[in-house]
Amino acid sequence: MAAVTDIGIDLGTASIIVYAKGRGIVMKEPSLVAFDRDANKIVAFGSEAEQLLDNPHGNLMAIRPLKEGVISSYIITEKMLQYYIRRAIGHRYLLKPRIVVCIPSGVTEVERRAVEQASYQAGARDVFIVREPVAAAMGAGIDVMRASGSLIVNVGGGITEIAVISMADLVVSQTLKEGGDSFDEAIIRYARDIYGLYIDKTTAEKIKKTVGSVAESDEDGNGQPLERIEVQGRDIDAGFPRRVSFTQAQVREALSDPFRRIVDGIRSVIERTPPDLTGDIAERGIVLTGGGAMVSGLRKAVQKSTGIRTILAENPETACAEGTGLYIANMASLEPARAGFFRR
């Protein structure tokens, strides 16, 4: 009989990351589907879909089945989960796998059940739903079973989850509709308002990664961003291609609003945290996870704005997926204390 591989999934708005027991992270793909409108069927998932859509055909459309961290298209999400689960474990198994999926803490019961049902339909034997901040904290090396308080800020593609965790429970939490996508959209708006130029999301993301910073200088080991980048867009009035330069200072200005909202959210969570746990946070600091946390200077800017030592997780982008893996490995000890987890 073939061995059964347990699977952990970080089901994100921007990407889906899969962990396989004994193998670690086995794939990271865009949460993207290419759909053929004429044939009324899915033709590709993830990076393959991205390549097809980079050279668009009239009959193909892009679908992101998750919006702001929750399922917006149940059927498409189910098909996407099936595809990645089968890729992760192959077809040579007799018993269905156990699957751990991390989802945002603010989802409704209906949304939670949608994720759970999609996982069962995708081939799971048993499904465990873990709250995203708890999975991120575990993946960042935090002992979530401790009675002391830990503040985790998970900056994803579509949302930011801010939570104080103690004994595997969320003591205080807040979900913001801010994340990596918000940073891209802020740059797109800046180009439109300041330059009268339309740029697409791919160009905005390139600007963010190349010259983007939310601090005047960054010594976080992410590499000092360049001072300037030249990009091409389309003049809104004339409709012709035009090239402009973005400076680091301009991108910092563009990102100031979404960054301020994230800091306001952190302050709000801290203000609502019980006094005995705020001392733990002051001592242990704020931990940043998620792909959006990798924006240059974010750690330094959060620390300066809150006055609390801030730490960027070692592997921020994969922390949630790695947390699901730790859940699988420690399921026996974690299951009796499931306050921070969901279960069918």
Instruction: For tokens 């156990």, name the residue.
Output: 98
| Predicted pLDDT at 221 | 45
Cα first-last separation, the chain = 28
What's the CA gap between 193 and 191, in Å, rounded? 6
160 with 154: CB under 8 angstroms?
yes
- Is the Cα torsion angle 88, 294, 229, 252 positive or negative in sign? positive
Q: What is the pLDDT of residue 1?
A: 38
Q: Pinpoint the alpha helices (H) of the chain.
A: 46-54, 74-89, 109-121, 132-139, 180-195, 201-211, 248-254, 256-271, 275-284, 298-306, 319-329, 331-334
One digit per residue, the tens of pLDDT, for the chain of length 344 reads: 345 578 899 988 888 999 988 888 999 999 899 998 888 899 999 999 888 887 766 788 888 888 776 777 888 888 888 888 888 876 655 678 889 998 887 777 887 888 888 888 878 888 999 999 999 999 999 998 888 999 999 999 889 999 999 988 899 999 998 998 999 999 999 999 999 999 998 899 999 988 888 877 654 445 555 688 999 999 999 889 999 999 989 999 999 999 999 999 999 999 999 999 999 999 999 999 999 999 989 999 999 999 999 999 999 999 999 999 888 887 666 655 554 555 44
Number of C-beta neighbours around residue 164 at 10 A: 24
What confidence score (pLDDT) does residue 286 get?
Answer: 97
Distance CA 206, CA 212 (A): 9
Sign of CA dihedral 281, 283, 284, 289: positive
3-state secondary structure of 121: helix
What is the largest distance, in Å, between two alpha-carbon atoms of the chain?
66
Residues paired with 326 in a beta bridge? none
CB 93 within 8 A of CB 60: no
Q: What six digits make up the tokens of 279?
A: 């001392």
Contact partners, residue 204, CB within 8 Å, separation at least 6: 184, 185, 187, 188, 191
- Predicted pLDDT of residue 344: 40
pLDDT number for residue 137: 95
Could you tell me how many residues make up the chain? 344
Ordered structural domains, the chain, with CATH: 7-135+321-343 (3.30.420.40), 142-178+261-316 (3.30.420.40), 180-256 (3.90.640.10)
Tokens matching residue 166: 């103690």
Pairwise CA distance, residues 133 & 226, whole Å: 32
pLDDT at 58: 72
Cα 131 to chain centroid distance, Å, stands at 13
